[in-house]
């Protein structure tokens, strides 16, 4: 078969595919309810185990993730049809059927079907997202992000209906779906109300509260106890996984961090570094000589020149100080001994 014949063959296949897509689009206008019900059957938007194996996708039960995502290869397979069917009415109907199906599956008998119903629900809502971090992305980054979307232009979703339907379908993925809805609502609920909803949802679905993202105010709070440090650990590891260099969202986050640090002595490390192999306070490539940490400009001042605080709150210069001596067992340091030690030290 020559090149000319191949081109004719490919043109014929594309013509058949275009005709088929047009027929489906016409059917969606006449029987949209039936079309969405067919799409949600096993073997269509919900793949069978054999289909997943053929596409090289891991089964959802082996992922162990509380944030279901459509495998990229499976998403790209359905994008041409879903984009052609896209309209506000179709999106509203699809979300309504997805959440209704989620309510029927809330018992958790079919893990694979539950996973993909939640994943498609999350995917449709995330396409509507218009978050602040996307405003500083480059054209190439935006193009790559939009390429994987079912639709591009933001539409007005029925937020109260989505929120109610999500709360009526408790399952292991409900906290994630609830977070997605709360993040993108046109008129968001108060932050305190959002957090209470998420906490109640995690209690009802018996999921760990550390899997939920806390409000921005709580993310900035310092760590006071070992428990709070342990809770922050899973949050940090999950954010690191979502901000992997291969993920467009991760590249966007790294680019924004690098922009914020521009002009400062710090910079974002884009290398794949196993940080667990380095002790605290040391970075890759750092010399053993501590002088490498010296700042370029500094001023020296002898410790003896600084005022020292005596008992009773009085401050007095070290050389001439006649401070009080603490009583303790064993040998005692006199004030002259302390002054001689301090006179040999320098602060930078």
CA distance 236 to 163: 27
Residues in a beta bridge with 324:
none
Place of tokens 């594309």: 14
What pLDDT is stored for residue 186 in this prediction?
Answer: 85
What pLDDT is stored for residue 223 in this prediction?
Answer: 53
Say whether 267 sits in a helix, a strand or coil: coil
Question: Going residue by residue through the chain (348 aa), what tens digit of pLDDT does each one get?
Answer: 443 343 334 345 556 777 777 777 777 777 889 989 999 999 999 999 999 989 888 887 666 677 899 999 999 999 988 998 888 999 999 999 999 999 888 766 788 999 999 999 999 999 888 664 555 667 777 777 788 889 888 898 999 999 999 999 888 899 999 999 998 888 889 999 999 999 888 888 877 654 455 444 444 455 556 666 566 666 555 555 544 545 556 677 777 777 777 777 677 777 777 777 777 777 777 777 777 767 666 666 665 555 555 555 554 544 444 444 444 455 677 788 778 777 776 655
Q: Which residues neighbour 290 within 8 Å (Cβ) at sequence distance 6 or greater?
A: none
CA atoms lying within 13 Å on the CB side of residue 138: 10
Residues in a beta bridge with 302:
346
CA distance 59 to 119: 13
CA distance 81 to 125: 18
CA distance 301 to 304: 8
Beta strands in the chain (DSSP E): 301-302, 307-309, 315-317, 346-347
Q: Which residues neighbour 70 within 8 Å (Cβ) at sequence distance 6 or greater?
A: 116, 119, 120, 123
Residue ranges covered by each domain of the chain: 16-157
What pLDDT is stored for residue 216 in this prediction?
Answer: 45
Is-above-0.85 flag for pTM? no
């Amino acid at each position: 078969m020559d090149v000319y014949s191949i081109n004719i063959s490919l043109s014929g296949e594309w013509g058949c595919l275009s005709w088929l897509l047009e027929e489906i689009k016409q059917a969606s206008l006449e029987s949209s309810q039936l079309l969405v019900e067919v799409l949600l059957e096993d073997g269509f938007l919900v793949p069978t185990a054999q289909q997943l194996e053929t596409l090289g996708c891991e089964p959802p039960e082996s992922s162990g993730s509380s944030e279901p995502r459509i495998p990229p290869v499976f998403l790209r397979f359905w994008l041409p049809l879903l984009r052609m069917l896209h309209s506000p009415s179709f999106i509203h109907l699809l979300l309504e059927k997805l959440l209704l199906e989620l309510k029927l599956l809330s018992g958790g008998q079919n893990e694979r079907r539950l996973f993909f119903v939640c994943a498609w629900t999350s995917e449709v809502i995330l396409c509507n997202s218009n978050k602040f971090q996307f405003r500083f992305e480059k054209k190439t980054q935006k193009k790559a992000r939009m390429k994987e979307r079912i639709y591009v232009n933001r539409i007005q979703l029925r937020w109260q209906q989505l929120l109610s339907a999500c709360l009526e379908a408790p399952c292991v993925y409900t906290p994630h779906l609830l977070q997605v809805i709360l993040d993108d609502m046109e008129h968001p609920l108060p932050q305190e109300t959002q957090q209470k909803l998420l906490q109640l949802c995690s209690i009802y679905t018996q999921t760990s509260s550390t899997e939920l993202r806390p409000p921005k105010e709580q993310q900035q709070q310092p760590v006071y106890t070992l428990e709070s440090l342990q809770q922050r650990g899973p949050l940090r590891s999950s954010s690191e996984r979502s901000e992997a260099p291969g993920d467009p969202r991760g590249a966007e986050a790294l680019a924004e961090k690098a922009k914020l640090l521009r002009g400062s002595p710090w910079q974002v490390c884009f290398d794949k570094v196993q940080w667990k192999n380095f002790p605290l306070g040391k970075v890759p490539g750092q010399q053993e000589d501590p002088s490498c940490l010296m700042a370029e400009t500094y001023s020296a001042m002898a410790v003896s020149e600084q005022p020292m605080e005596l008992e009773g709150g009085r401050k007095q210069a070290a050389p001439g100080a006649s401070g009080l001596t603490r009583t303790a067992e064993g040998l005692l340091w006199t004030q002259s001994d302390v002054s001689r030690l301090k006179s040999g030290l320098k602060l930078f």
